[in-house]
């Protein structure tokens, strides 16, 4: 079994919660950006699998 020791930095809680909602950010714009990236990655993966056979 693989075991390793985590450093104090790795084990401490983040000071600010991760993934908090910020209403000042235009969420529709962010959603569109993420959706575009997702589609590009999905298409690239599908093409790679088709080429690999």
Residue 16 is assigned to a structural domain of this protein: no
Residue 20 is assigned to a structural domain of this protein: no
pLDDT at 19: 66
The count of domains in the chain is 1
Domain ranges, residue 39: 25-53
Residue 9 is assigned to a structural domain of this protein: no
As a whole number of angstroms, the distance between CA 52 and CA 19 comes to: 36
pLDDT at 10: 67
Residue 53 is assigned to a structural domain of this protein: yes
What the block records as the tokens of 36 is: 């575009």
Q: What is the pLDDT of residues 3-44, one digit of tens each?
A: 667 676 666 776 766 666 676 777 788 888 899 999 999 999
DSSP state of 53: -
pLDDT at 3: 63
DSSP conformation letters of 1-51:
----PPPHHHHSPPSS-TT---TTS-HHHHHHHHHHHHHHHHHHHHHHHHH
As a whole number of angstroms, the distance between CA 37 and CA 29 comes to: 13
């Amino acid at each position: 079994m693989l075991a390793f020791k985590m450093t104090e930095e790795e084990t401490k809680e983040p000071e600010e919660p991760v993934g908090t909602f910020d209403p000042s950010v235009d969420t529709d714009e962010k959603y569109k950006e993420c959706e575009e990236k997702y589609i590009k990655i999905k298409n690239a993966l599908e093409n790679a699998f088709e080429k690999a056979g």
